[in-house]
Amino acid sequence: MKYDQTGKVVENFYVVGNASFPVYLLDGPKPALFDAGLTAMGRMYEADLRKILGNRLPTYLFLTHSHFDHIGATAYLKALYPSMKIAGSRRTQEILHRDNAIQLIRSLNWKATDSLKGSEKMLTLKDLFEPFTLDLELNGGETIELGPDHHVHVMNTPGHTWDFMSYWVSEKKLLIASEAVGCEDGTGYIFSEFLVDYDAFVSSLAALSQLDVDILCQGHGLVFTGPNACAHMDRSLEQAPRFLSMVEKFLEEEGGNVERTISRVKAVEWDPKPWPKQTESAYLLNTEIRVNTILKRRAQE
């Protein structure tokens, strides 16, 4: 099954707020959140969490990586739940100490909010993104107990970013891997999300694909359950070299011109896709990075 809505996915596991910019909730003796979506959606996350948890408090917020649409509401949620421990990569904390990174996160959050429509936009906050401090710095390899039947195994899975962490809850066969497993859109196309290193991305994806996954959370839009979970990772492993070959071909035909190559990639990946989809500014930023990552890789061969 492919689950594309908010609400209960399986017993004690939920998508809250907005399926395109989700926060995931694993309920239990120590409720845990995974990722923090957009800054503007803080109230939506709060409303869904209160419906599910009532007066109970989440114990942890696990962050996969430091991109604007995954950490946006962290400060808002921490203010709601001061005892909640924010956990993420040590590299994430380093990024949040950079003024230029904070300004970029704020700008991209604002642009993403402008793209929302209808009632969702009416409920959004106008606050700017605020930086925060991790309560628990992760290196990968840690196991964090949420109760006798829930343990979060932390996996260092670079490729999309260098600070990327995936979270494996073996008892539920639940994997929160976000962009580390690529992102399928509404048409079935999978975006290969290597921003810092193609080979690291494929290596991380190959390692994740060895897990016996029954619930797979990608970064946006969809949660895969049953056979679709492992099938998505297999398809993503097939898509990555196809995308690499396409970009290398465009670079060759365009004489190494990055701008023209980006335009051709956009014409294949972004232009024909229906809304909702990634905002154009965020897509172009990511694609410029992907193309330059491939260009750098070619130069090192």
Judge whether 277 lies within some domain: no
Judge whether 290 lies within some domain: no
Eight-class DSSP state of 154: E
Judge whether 93 lies within some domain: yes
Q: Binning pLDDT at 50, 70 and 90, where does residue 111 land?
A: confident
Query: Residue 275: its pLDDT value, please?
Result: 79
58 pLDDT exceeds 70?
yes
Query: Residue 153: its pLDDT value, please?
Result: 98
Residues 6+ apart with CB under 8 A from 161: 65, 66, 67, 195, 196
92 pLDDT exceeds 90?
yes
Are 60 and 27 in contact, with CB atoms under 8 Å apart?
A: no
Judge whether 148 lies within some domain: yes
Query: Residue 186: its pLDDT value, please?
Result: 77
Dihedral sign for Cα atoms in the order 54, 124, 3, 239: negative
Cα 11 from Cα 208, distance rounded (Å): 23
Q: Kindly report, residue by residue over 242-267, the tens digit of the pLDDT.
A: 999 999 999 999 999 999 999 999 99
For the chain, the straight-line distance linking the first and the last C-alpha, in angstroms and rounded, comes to 40
Query: Residue 123: its pLDDT value, please?
Result: 65
Give me the mean pLDDT over the 167-191 stretch: 95
How crowded is residue 214: how many other Cβ atoms within 10 Å of its Cβ?
A: 17
Of residues 37 and 111, more confidently modeled: 37
225 pLDDT exceeds 70?
yes
Of residues 279 and 255, more confidently modeled: 255
- Pick the range with the lowest mean pLDDT from 112-126, 189-203, 216-230, 231-245: 112-126
Judge whether 181 lies within some domain: yes
Read off the CATH number of the domain in which 42 is found: 3.60.15.10
Judge whether 292 lies within some domain: no
Judge whether 249 lies within some domain: no
Nearest CA to 165 among 175, 174, 173? 175
- How many structural domains are present in the chain? 1
Judge whether 201 lies within some domain: yes
Parent domain of 53: 2-233
